[in-house]
Every structure is written in C-alpha cells, then in structure tokens.
Amino acid sequence: MNQPSRFVLTFPRSDGVALGIVLLILIVTTLTGCTRHEPVAAAIRPVLLTQVVPGSGAQTAVFAGEVKPRYESDLAFRIGGKIVSRGVDAGARVRKGQVLARLDPADLALQTESAEAQVAAARVDHEFAQAELNRHENLLKQKFISASALDAKRNAMKATQAKLEQTQANLAVTRNQAAYAQLLAPEDGVITAVAAEAGQVVAAGQLVMRYAREREREVEIAVPEARIAEVQQAQQIAVMLAADPDTRYRGQVREVSPAVDPVTRTFAVRVSVIDPTPAMQWGMTAKVVLADAGSGTASLLPSTALHQASDGRPALWVYDPAIGTVSLRPVAITQYREDGVVIAAGLTAGEWVVATGANKLHEGQQVRPYVGAGRPVPPEPTVPAAAATARVN
C-alpha cells in the first residue's frame, strides 16, 4: 500500500547554527500573525490659549506726568523785617487764617507810637488854629482887624485840619503794617515749599512759603505738537498713579498751553482729576491714558492666532472648555496692528482662542491648554471628547 509522501527539510550537521536561526524566525512569524493589535490613542497636542477681552482693542495713548495742584501761590510778607518765628514746615496742612510766620514787632511798635504822636501834635495845632480863627472873627465884628487878616487865620486852620487828617491816615497805615507782621494762610491747603527761616531778614514781597489748595488736583503732561488734536478730542481719559496702577481716576483736559516749549517742542497740558483721593499726593508720578470710545467692544488678539477658513475668510481656532476640543470660526478684522489684530465680530467675551500653532490643528481636535507661570487657566473639560484611535491590520 502506498504511503503519502512527506516533505522533509534536511540540513547538514555542519549547519546546525543556521537551522536554529531559521526555526526561531518561523516561530516569531507564527506568533506575530496570531496576535491582535490594540488601538493606539492619538497624542493630545498642547496649545497656548488667550482669552477674548472686549475693549482690549481700543486705541490708547499714554503720557507720563506729575500730580500738581490747580491753584498754587507764593506767600510773602507785605512789609520787610526780620522773621522771628515760623510755625509750619513743608507738607503741613493749614487752615484759613492760621499764622504761618511772624516778623519782629519791635520796629513796628515804634512806628505806631511815632504815628500816634504825630496825630496828637497835629490835633493840638488844629485846635489852636480853630481858636485863633474864632477870636479873629470876633475882632472883625468889632472892626479891630481887616477881612484879609481873618482869611489868613481861616487858611491856617484849614492847613492844620489837613495835617491832622494826613497824620491820622498815616497812623492807620502803620497799624495795618503791624498786622502785616503775621503771615496768614489764605485758604485751607498745604504748604508745598518753605524759602525762609527764622532769623532771616526779608524784603516786602520776598518769597517765604509756597501754598496750594487742598481740594483740586491736576496732572501736568507734555504732549508733542503732532498729538495735540488727539488729546483735545479724547472721549475717555483715565489717570493712574505709578504707585497704584490698579486704581483709575476720571480725568478731563482743562488747559492746553497756547505756546510750544522752545526746547522740548511740546505743549504743556493740564488734566483735571474729577474724583481725587487722599492717596493722590502732589509730586507723585502719574500716567494719563487716552482711550478711543468707538472701539470699546473690539478685542485685541495675537497675529499668530489667525488662520484661514475654507472660503478664504480669516478665522480663529476657538477652544471649547466643556469637551476640550477646538473648532474653526470665521471672524471680522477691523485693523492690523504691530501688537496684534483687532477683532470686531465673531467672538464672545470670555471665550478662549488658540494663540499659536493655528496651522497645526484640525476641526474637532482634542487639545490640552498649556499652563505657564502668570497665564490665565481655562476650566477643565467636563465631558472628555472621544480619543482618536488607529488600528493596524
């Protein structure tokens, strides 16, 4: 009976090593063909996000300035003399009528006594001339003197009367000067500078102190001549202190200098602070920010966030924090600037937009927000999207 033929693979004894290698290859190939491949999850790409902030695209101009009082005046004595006391220092708050400094009253007292003595002498002369006039009037009635002699006495009496009035006026002036020996505060305010000390001899009108009213404050800025119209037409003006940049004060342009500075070629502009607080002290550094009210709803985003939709319109990748995916959305651009693009429509306040790497994404792709130091963090996805899988046959 015939037996079925068998194929037998034979190797020489000297090829034992080669035989082992071939058997190992056959075993690995058989096992590999029987193993099922598990799906491989697609890698989640990290992206840098930025949030949509309405009003961030508004055109702004910033000018540095100094806080100054609106009303500031130099205080001086109306007469000359030696300062014997000074009651306040620079930075002191004073009340209306408060004594700030005094002059030596000794000379003024002597001048007052001299003026009083002159008045007394003039009154005696006037009384004597009046008595002489009365006697000569009686002598004229008795025909002992002529009319011309009476007229002479009448003129002498009028001269003494004028002399008396003159000395009385001089006495009033001297008494006023005695009151001028005290330097008084004209209104409630602050002493911003002191230019004289006790023991110093000053002349009438010489600067002793500089005074400023407490109630009103302004910021003085220097504006180039090419931007004067921008300042005058500004719709919104904000004032911020360098020491407190988080607090904004409302401002209003009060005065624009009619002449340009010959050295800096800038105009001095005074911006009144509508609602100042005690924290705004004179001499502090402040910034005046001019904003364009017409672009209050536009958003400024990085230029690297721009992409192109299928119809050629500009678009952005909007991140959905609920499922952690991105979708392409067309937007309307109003302006291209050095610091980004201004988006007028197509986005909602608070949405998150991919800031960089827009050309590496596709519709519905799951991404992971990049969390860096000092960057805002979007909320975590509440419904994870289905991970993309790839199967190898």
Q: What are phi and psi of 366, to 5 degrees?
A: -85, 130
What confidence tens digit (pLDDT) does each residue in 330-352 have?
Answer: 888 877 777 788 888 888 888 88
For the chain, percent of residues with pLDDT exceeding 90: 24
Give mean pLDDT, residues 6-14: 47
Tokens of 391: 């199967």
HEC string for 313-333? CEEEEEEECCCCEEEEEECEE
Q: What are phi and psi of 27, to 5 degrees?
A: -70, -45
User: Which of 53 and 181 is assigned the larger pLDDT?
Assistant: 181
What confidence tens digit (pLDDT) does each residue in 133-174 have?
Answer: 888 888 888 888 888 888 888 898 899 999 999 999 998 888
In this prediction, residue 20 carries a pLDDT of 61
Q: What torsion, rounded to 10 degrees, do the Cα atoms 222, 226, 230, 232 define?
A: 60
In this prediction, residue 209 carries a pLDDT of 94
Q: Taking all residues of the chain, what is their mean pLDDT, rounded to a whole number?
A: 81
C-alpha gyration radius of the chain: 48
| Amino acid letter, residue 54 | P
For the chain, percent of residues with pLDDT exceeding 70: 81
| pTM given for the model | 0.49
**Cα 171 from chain centroid?**
54
In this prediction, residue 256 carries a pLDDT of 92
In this prediction, residue 279 carries a pLDDT of 85
In this prediction, residue 183 carries a pLDDT of 92
Asked whether residue 384 carries a pLDDT value surpassing 80, the answer given is no
Cα angle, residue 27 at apex, residues 25 and 30 outer, rounded to 5°: 105
Do 318 and 47 meet the contact criterion of CB atoms below 8 Å apart? no
In this prediction, residue 194 carries a pLDDT of 93
Asked whether residue 23 carries a pLDDT value surpassing 80, the answer given is no
Asked whether residue 89 carries a pLDDT value surpassing 70, the answer given is yes
What confidence tens digit (pLDDT) does each residue in 92-112 have?
Answer: 889 999 999 999 888 888 888
In this prediction, residue 4 carries a pLDDT of 47
| Separation of alpha carbons 218 and 66, rounded Å | 8
| Separation of alpha carbons 125 and 132, rounded Å | 11
- Give 302's contacts (C-beta < 8 A, 6+ positions apart): 50, 340, 341, 355, 356
What confidence tens digit (pLDDT) does each residue in 201-257 have?
Answer: 999 999 999 998 877 889 999 999 888 888 888 878 889 998 888 888 999 999 999
Asked whether residue 44 carries a pLDDT value surpassing 50, the answer given is yes
Question: Strand pairing of 244-256 and 266-273?
Answer: antiparallel
**Cα 50 from chain centroid?**
28
DSSP run (H or E) holding 246? strand 244-256
| Separation of alpha carbons 103 and 171, rounded Å | 19
In this prediction, residue 7 carries a pLDDT of 41
- Give 332's contacts (C-beta < 8 A, 6+ positions apart): 343, 344, 345, 346
In this prediction, residue 202 carries a pLDDT of 92
In this prediction, residue 65 carries a pLDDT of 93
Asked whether residue 79 carries a pLDDT value surpassing 80, the answer given is yes
Nearest to 256 by CA among 289, 291, 228: 228
